[in-house]
Amino acid sequence: MVAGHLREKKGNYYIVLNYTGSDGKRKVKWKTTGLPIKGNKKRAEEMLQEARRTFIPDNEALANEEMLFAEYLEYWLGIAKTSIATITYSSYATMLRGTIKPYFEETLKTLAELSPKDIQDFYTVQLMRVKASTVIHYHVIIHRALKYAFKTGMIDVNPASRVDRPKKEIFVGSFYDKDEMAKLFEVAIGTRLELPIYFGAFYGLRRSEIIGLKWDSIDFQQDTITIRHTVVDCYLDGKKVTIASDRTKTKSSMRTLPLVPMFREGLLRLQEEQENNRRLCGRCYCADYPDYICVDEMGNLLKPHYVSWAFPKLLEQNGLRRIRFHDLRHSCASLLLANGVPLKQIQEWLGHSDFSTTANIYAHLDYASKISSAEAMQSALNLPNPLPGTSGKPILPIIHV
């Protein structure tokens, strides 16, 4: 990691990096942080450490065959940060620095030396401790990083393209039946989880979509709910941060659903209650989230991590079977299937990007369609009734000629 420090110039912080060039001479590189001096020292220091960690002196190290693959991964992450969503960068950084980079630091493999077998060995080791789905995420990061190296001429081939990535396990989600749902609704009354549970179970919304609901998402004239804003928690530079975005997980996740009467009446009451709380609390009322639906009595936004933390505790305290909060979404889908709603409609209700996603997750629950198939086969085939061997009469022996 190169040396560096902060300098103040024209009212802003600048990063100054010191390194030795390929000619053996000491060199200095200035880089602006874009941050005013007042109130930004801590953030500027964080940017300095990031710049020191990812800096490649004048691209000299890129041509160096001794560059470790682990060092290259950190370099690539700094480049990727500018072109991917913050939540994606957070996920990449956590997996890369927590697992991928430490492993390859131990192997001392350079970028030029890295082979498909080296990557395959890494997957084999990881499969002994984590699920295949997690290793697939590692593969995505490694393949994408090496794709950039290939595209920029740093390597002749992408070794990750010649690796067999693990097969994804068939997902089987946990879900509540209607009786368990009824009990859950009962115990949720009056708690901070009441509204998130209703939205998760009835509409099958994701946690990020529930916390991201704003009042302008509700059309009380047309009786619709539009999902178009999300709120997520993630780790950024070692700190947990909450990120709000006017985008959903996929394009299909941005959807409009009917506002049924019970939700319409409940939301109108909640809107009036929040207005009263705002008047009663005055300046003490949090003014940071005026447009959000899921806020507490003081106007503070319900945080995504609180929902995930408090939900299992609510179940345990009331003797309910343990499931994840996200499993309310699966419960919604299973109840829709049980009541004859086709998978295509469930795809649109849940906001899946394509039909195969819905089918892969929930097709094994589609018992109604199997009954229809059985009835169709009965109509098509003229089977004897009862079947041979079920009437109590002996079956004729097979005569071998």
- In three state form, how does the secondary structure of 135-168 look? HHHHHHHHHHHHHHHHHCCCCCCCHHHHCCCCCC
Question: Which residue in the block uniquely carries the two structure tokens 């393209």?
Answer: 161
Residue 362 — very low, low, confident or very high, per pLDDT cuts 50/70/90?
low
pTM greater than the 0.75 cutoff: no
- pLDDT score, position 380: 67
Query: Could you read off the pLDDT of 206-238 as tens digits, one per residue?
Result: 999 999 999 999 999 999 999 999 999 888 877
SS3 category, 229: coil
* Residue 82 predicted with pLDDT over 50: yes
* Residue 244 predicted with pLDDT over 80: yes
Name the nearest CA neighbour of 34 among 54, 49, 14. Answer: 14
**Mean confidence (pLDDT) of the chain:** 84
Please name the residue ranges forming H helices in 81-131.
Answer: 86-95, 101-107, 116-126
Name residue 262's amino acid: M
Q: What are the residue boundaries of the structural domains of the chain, listed by start?
A: 1-53, 56-169, 180-365
Name residue 354's amino acid: D
Residue, of 86 and 23, whose pLDDT is higher: 86
The CATH topology of domain 56-169 is: DNA polymerase; domain 1 (1.10.150)
Spatial neighbors of 355 by CB under 8 A, at least 6 apart, are: 343, 344, 347
Q: Which pair of structure tokens corresponds to residue 311?
A: 């939900």
Residue, of 374 and 347, whose pLDDT is higher: 347
The Cα-based distances of 217 to 29, 198, 357 in angstroms read 48, 17, 26
SS3 category, 38: coil
* Residue 332 predicted with pLDDT over 80: yes
Say how far apart CA 398 and CA 401 lie, in whole Å: 10
For the residues 166-189, what does the mean pLDDT come to?
A: 86
- pLDDT score, position 223: 94
Say how far apart CA 318 and CA 55 lie, in whole Å: 53
- pLDDT score, position 387: 58
Cα end-to-end span (Å), the chain = 84
Query: Could you read off the pLDDT of 13-71 as tens digits, one per residue?
Result: 888 887 776 566 677 777 788 888 888 888 888 888 888 877 766 555 444 456 889 98
Q: Which pair of structure tokens corresponds to residue 41?
A: 């020292």
8 Å CB contact between 139 and 160: yes
Name residue 223's amino acid: D
* Residue 316 predicted with pLDDT over 90: yes
Total residue length of the chain:
401
Q: What is the CATH number of domain 180-365?
A: 1.10.443.10
8 Å CB contact between 339 and 331: no
Say how far apart CA 90 and CA 329 lie, in whole Å: 24
- pLDDT score, position 63: 47
27 phi and psi angles, rounded to 5 deg: -130, 155
Q: Within the chain, how many helices (H) and strands (E) appear? A: 15, 8
4 phi and psi angles, rounded to 5 deg: -170, 165
Residue, of 184 and 384, whose pLDDT is higher: 184
Residue 203 — very low, low, confident or very high, per pLDDT cuts 50/70/90?
very high
Question: Which residue in the block uniquely carries the two structure tokens 């493999």?
Answer: 109
Share of the chain above pLDDT 70, in %: 82
Strand partners, 227: 255
Say how far apart CA 333 and CA 197 lie, in whole Å: 15
- pLDDT score, position 32: 80
Say how far apart CA 252 and CA 358 lie, in whole Å: 12
